[in-house]
Amino acid sequence: FFLIMGKKLIFNVLGVMTGTSMDGIDISLVRTNGTNYVKILSEKSYIFNKNYQNTLKKLILDKPKNTNKIKEYFIKKNSYVTNMIEKNIIKFINKNNINKKKIDLISISGQTVYHNPEEKISIQLGNGERIAKKLQLKTISNLRDSDIANGGQGAPIGAYYHKYLIKKFKEKIIILNLGGIANYSVISSNKLLSSDIGPANCLIDDLSVYFFNQKFDKNGSNARKGKINFKLINSFKNDKFFQQSFPKSLDRNYFHKYFNKLIKINKYDALKTANYMTCIGLQEFIKKNRIRFDKIILTGGGRKNKYLLEILNDLIDKKIDVIDNYKIDGDLVESQMFAYIGMRSYKKLIISSKNTTGVKKNISGGKLYKPI
């Protein structure tokens, strides 16, 4: 370890990510200083079983209509998600023969179950205090709370890790993360910009479950068989979300109203139309921001949808590539990211700014829990 005045500069951080796709949990053990040094020591994705996934989705859809009761409702369900996080961290440590004493910090994203920045609410399940106690390791969680309290959107919260990755490339690139929700990061005129831009896998995956009892549409094979429903596309393009200025953010279920319309049409047409909906947010962002770039690099589960990539290539007149071609695992970028921003949080470094979440001032964030 590097030491300055008795303080460690570089830490081993366990980053834990449970994303809006709700398809699994990703864990990365990363050696980092939270600035210009990142070394991946070990990482793994664990897929949720259908029962857990369905329970989680039902839990979210059954939430109270009254906003005042939402926090109380989800707090009661917190142990359900915390148990899953603990179980998988323990499995990861055991399977990889990791000496727990070598882990300096755990950083968890928590499972986002409700996100409404207008009402200053963003709820992530996963109790950092309990995880710290159970695993006897310092744990950082609640990484969005300070951002929301200071007028920010609370998402996307990982832009500073994307900045670290972008600086490794010689070209001007946009990182586009295709999780449940699509978000981007780019450096333009020396400013780091980031925002959610629309749905990515959430509509496509939910339709795959509904029509085909499949977690996702592998390679977009079912979507290929359909036709675009232009009436729904035009309705989608006029959604008020696309009128909002950047940066902005989304709850996973914000676009669920279109799911309710899509299930009423032919199943193949529904999937094809949902794929096109995923591309509209990217088109809108490029048009409105007039950003100069050479290439878009894709991360997240949506990058594996070959049909979606074909549509993107047709619609966007720039090279589109996947991050895996640069020896970075596109499935695990976000767990690496939470390790990195957990380190930044621990060192009180900036994790969100006006151009990444709309927060009033550059701030750090997160809550540190120490084992008792």
> Cα–chain-centroid distance for residue 14?
17
Mean pLDDT of 146-163: 96
Cis status of the peptide bond prior to 156, with omega within 30 of 0: yes
CA atoms of 306 and 150, how far apart (whole Å): 40
Instruction: Please report, to the nearest 10 degrees, the dihedral formed by the alpha carbons of residues 17, 22, 23, 28 taken in order.
Output: 0
CA 204 – CA 271 distance, rounded (Å): 6
Other Cβ atoms closer than 10 A to 335: 29
Number of CB atoms found within 10 A of residue 311's CB: 18
* Burial (CB count within 10 angstroms: exposed 0-12, middle 13-18, buried 19+), residue 3: exposed
208-238 pLDDT per residue, tens: 999 999 989 999 999 999 999 999 999 999 9
Alpha-carbon dihedral angle through residues 113, 340, 45, 24, given to the nearest 10 degrees: 0
What is the tens place of the pLDDT at every residue in 168-197? Answer: 998 999 999 999 999 999 999 999 999 999
Tens-digit pLDDT profile for residues 271-308: 999 999 999 988 888 888 888 899 999 999 999 999 99
* Residue 1 confidence class, pLDDT cut points 50, 70, 90: very low
Q: Of 5-19, 134-148, 291-305, 356-370, where does mean pLDDT reach its minimum? A: 5-19
Q: Which of 232, 204, 231 is nearest to 219 (CA)?
A: 204
CA–CA distances in Å: residue 283 to residues 127, 201, 300, 306: 38, 17, 19, 18
Beta carbons of 95 and 44 less than 8 angstroms apart: yes
- Judge whether residue 6 has pLDDT over 70: no
For 39-80, how does the pLDDT look when each residue is reduced to its tens digit (9 = 90+)? 999 999 999 998 999 899 899 999 998 888 999 999 999 999
Q: Is the peptide bond before 117 cis (omega within 30 degrees of 0)?
A: no
- Predicted TM-score (pTM) above 0.85: yes
* Secondary structure (H, E, C), the chain: CCEECCEECCEEEEEEEECCCCCEEEEEEEEECCCCCEEEEEEEEEECCHHHHHHHHHHHHCCCCCHHHHHHHHHCCHHHHHHHHHHHHHHHHHHCCCCHHHCCEEEECCEEEEEEHHHCEEEEECCHHHHHHHHCCCEEECCCHHHHHCCCCCCCCCHHHHHHHHCCCCCCEEEEEECCEEEEEEEECCEEEEEEEEECHHHHHHHHHHHHCCCCCHHHCCHHHCCCCHHHHHHHHCCHHHHCCCCCCCCCCCCHHHHHHHCCCCHHHHHHHHHHHHHHHHHHHHHHHCCCCCEEEEECHHHHCHHHHHHHHHHCCCEEEEHHHHCCCCCCHHHHHHHHHHHHHHCCCCCECHHHHCCCCCECCCEEECCC
Banded pLDDT at 133 (limits 50, 70, 90): very high
Q: Which residue has the tokens 């009661």?
A: 76
The predicted structure's pLDDT at residue 7: 64
Q: pLDDT tens for residues 316-353?
A: 888 999 999 999 999 999 999 999 999 999 999 999 99
List of residues 6+ apart from 183 with CB closer than 8 A: 155, 156, 176, 177, 194, 195, 196, 197
| Distances 115 to 20, 24, 123, 204, 225 between C-alpha atoms, Å | 11, 19, 6, 20, 34
* Two structure tokens written together for 34: 């939270």
> What does the mean pLDDT of the chain come to?
94
Q: How buried is 361 (Cβ within 10 angstroms: 0-12 exposed, 13-18 middle, 19+ buried)? A: exposed
Q: Specify the range with the lowest mean pLDDT, choosing from 41-55, 94-108, 239-253, 277-291.
A: 277-291
- Asked if 327 contacts 321 with a C-beta cutoff of 8 angstroms, the reply is no
pLDDT (average), residues 145-167: 96
